[in-house]
Structure 1
Amino acid sequence: MLHTREKSDLLVIMETLAIRGTLSNKQQQYLQHLQKGFAGEQSFDQMTTQLNDNFFILNDLFLQPHLSNAFQIDSMILTGKTLYLYEIKNYSGEYYYGEEMLVKIPDFKVSNPLIQVQNTKNKLTIFLKELRYDIEIKAYAAYVHPEFTLFNAPKHEGMLLPSQLKNHFIKIEKESKPLTAIQKKFAADLIDYQTDPMPFANDIPNYSFASLRKGIGCEECSSLDLELYRTYYHCRSCDYENPINSALLSCIKEYQRLFPNDKLTAAILYIWCAEMVSKKRIQRMLKLLV
């Protein structure tokens, strides 16, 4: 696997604001939507990690071609002369199929993922021509939630329902061949065009340093209710224990993500940590980050 999947900055910030701030009901629903999407991607990754070594698996790519707009890819699998492209959906419940929309009973609608993955395939095809690669692309809308039902679904080779995923991966594994140097170069070229996602400032609520709860968070459950000892901390919420410096480093990175334009100083981080550790300790940690 060349490109692993991590939580997006958007998801991490929203989760942080849920702990340190106050989210409205709508914002809580949005956070749950992001979390469910990431959980679905992790479920898909769990299946692909069981494939043999004749694959390159590239997850969560945001590619910026020279001649066209940037676009995002949930997951790609490269094997032999074929590139498998996946749009991952973690929908649950009962839906009715429509060519343009899927309708969840009773009246919730979402765009048909087949349209989304076809648009991504078109962009990727143009991009590969720009890179002078000739490779077959097979695109799929992959539904990963075991409790997803799609009524009136047509027999479509680009649609993978939960019950079809296992056999799909068995099939492509049987057809796989050892990767060549050219295919390895192709995967490396794609990684070279990886860029940061587009700004998402409009997707998160306003917040300020003063409005957020201060403290060092548990690395297991994110609770701010910690009991600190000389070298380690104990979380009162989940009983997790770990070295203080590990949690302090996470706390500093959390501040950086929330306030990327602010200067890191021991004084401001001392307040951010609710004065739970000394300024000297924070200063030593900052020197390690330089």
Structure 2
Amino acid sequence: MIFKSRFERGEITLLKSLNARMDLTDEEKKNFMFLKKGFDGELMFDALTVKLQSDCLVLNDLLLEVGGGRFQIDTLIIHEKLYIFEVKNYEGNCYFESGNFYSSSGVVLKNALNQLNRCETLLRQLLQKHGFKFSTEGQVVFINPEFFLYQAPRHEPIVYTPQLNQLMKKLNSLPGKLNGKHLKLAELLVSLHITEDSYSRVRHYGFGQLRKGVLCPVCQSFMERSGLKILVCPSCRLEESVDAAVLRSVEELRFLFPEMRVTTRVVEEWCGGICSPKALGRILRLRYKAISYRRWVYFE
């Protein structure tokens, strides 16, 4: 059972919008693609764990702290044992040498085994601190089918794409039932999860700097009108109602500029004049409360 779902991290959401609406630096684009690729890999693993039928609790994307040290768990499965998974979405040819992972060009990659070991160590400390006694088993999952590791270590806890079905069969056949202590542990870990996002790597941006228009939710291209009630993406041909597209764009605006008052004039500019102020007023009232302030009306 999925006890804690995975959501797109705020930094990815922010960079996704900024990447479409302004020119990011090469370093910012590199960071965005790195974060997005990692998240996509985690979603690929989620598509497998969501199908588990055994009596277990699946907690996705935990950020925890113990003794001043923070650690992230991509996926944790609670059963009689705690199964910890470090998911990597590496692709292409890589090799393992002298305890490190390298790309085919010789660039040192993040050592997933070291990350996993640190994660297990800190999790055991956290469990001990709160009086829980569970054994742990950690594994690194290379989720991308286009990844190949030369000189792969034989005795390290690594799962490759062809072994994923075997891993899921193992998890599906776990014997025993969960009880109150398992639920208490899951509730504790969720309560300790750190939800803050760090945007320190994202430079300041202003409303006037950003390109205006309605972004496609699939490919992030700017959508166009297709009749009175429909918008269409010129790149992927996705269609969406004007009402839904505007409300989605307003949520993006509120995320990027949480202190800005949402008015029909602001939304008209933000959406690139996709529809009239009168139509925008009707759409905004579908979700938001209209508040009068002197001669002006804003929505929240």
Q: Structure 2-normalised TM-score? A: 0.86
Pair 1:46–1:230, CA change in 2 (3 A): same
Question: 2:274 corresponds to which residue?
Answer: 276
Cα separation, 1, equivalents of 2:115 and 2:148: 19
Contact 1:4 / 1:58 at 8 angstroms: preserved in 2? Answer: yes
Shift of 1:116: 0.5
Shift of 1:31: 2.4
Cα separation, 1, equivalents of 2:70 and 2:197: 8
Amino acid at match of 2:35: L
Shift of 1:100: 4.3
Q: Deviation digits for residues 75-114 of structure 1, max 9, x if unmatched?
A: 11112x1010111111112222135421111221113210
Question: 2:252 corresponds to which residue?
Answer: 254
Q: 2:184 aligned with 1:185, yes or no? A: yes
Question: 1:108 corresponds to which residue?
Answer: 107
Shift of 1:152: 2.0
- The worse-fitting range, judged by mean Cα deviation, of 137-146 and 167-176 is 167-176
Cα separation, 2, equivalents of 1:155 and 1:197: 38
Cα separation, 2, equivalents of 1:168 and 1:61: 21
Shift of 1:249: 1.9
Question: 1:226 corresponds to which residue?
Answer: 224
Question: 1:54 corresponds to which residue?
Answer: 55
Contact 1:96 / 1:153 at 8 angstroms: preserved in 2? Answer: yes
Sequence identity percentage: 27
Q: Deviation digits for residues 178-214 of structure 1, max 9, x if unmatched?
A: 2223212221221111221442322x24422111111
Pair 1:193–1:99, CA change in 2 (3 A): farther
Question: 2:175 corresponds to which residue?
Answer: 176
Contact 2:11 / 2:198 at 8 angstroms: preserved in 1? Answer: no
Q: Could you say what secondary structure the match of 1:71 adopts?
A: strand
Structure 2: unaligned runs, 5 residues or longer: 291-298
Contact 1:57 / 1:75 at 8 angstroms: preserved in 2? Answer: yes
Shift of 1:51: 1.5
Amino acid at match of 2:166: N
Matches within 5 A, 1:73-112: 73-79=73-79, 81-112=80-111
Q: Could you say what secondary structure the match of 1:70 adopts?
A: strand
Matches within 5 A, 1:129-140: 129-140=128-139
Amino acid at match of 1:72: Q
Cα separation, 1, equivalents of 2:71 and 2:261: 32
Matches within 5 A, 1:193-208: 193-202=192-201, 204-208=202-206
- The worse-fitting range, judged by mean Cα deviation, of 244-253 and 193-202 is 193-202
Contact 1:266 / 1:282 at 8 angstroms: preserved in 2? Answer: no
Q: Could you say what secondary structure the match of 2:109 adopts?
A: strand
Say what the alpha-carbon RMSD is for the aligned residues.
Answer: 2.3
Q: Deviation digits for residues 36-87 of structure 1, max 9, x if unmatched?
A: 212211111122122114121111112245x5343221111112x1010111
Cα separation, 2, equivalents of 1:130 and 1:266: 52
Question: 2:35 corresponds to which residue?
Answer: 34
Amino acid at match of 2:33: Q
Amino acid at match of 1:76: L
- The worse-fitting range, judged by mean Cα deviation, of 123-132 and 94-103 is 94-103
Shift of 1:250: 1.4
Cα separation, 1, equivalents of 2:153 and 2:51: 29
Question: 2:289 corresponds to which residue?
Answer: 287
Structure 1: unaligned runs, 5 residues or longer: none
Pair 1:110–1:205, CA change in 2 (3 A): same
Pair 1:234–1:172, CA change in 2 (3 A): closer
Q: Could you say what secondary structure the match of 1:201 adopts?
A: coil
Q: Could you say what secondary structure the match of 1:7 adopts?
A: coil
Contact 1:218 / 1:226 at 8 angstroms: preserved in 2? Answer: no
Question: 1:71 corresponds to which residue?
Answer: 71
Q: 2:166 aligned with 1:167, yes or no? A: yes
Cα separation, 1, equivalents of 2:105 and 2:272: 47
The number of aligned residues is: 287
Pair 1:119–1:154, CA change in 2 (3 A): same
Amino acid at match of 2:77: I
Pair 1:160–1:239, CA change in 2 (3 A): closer
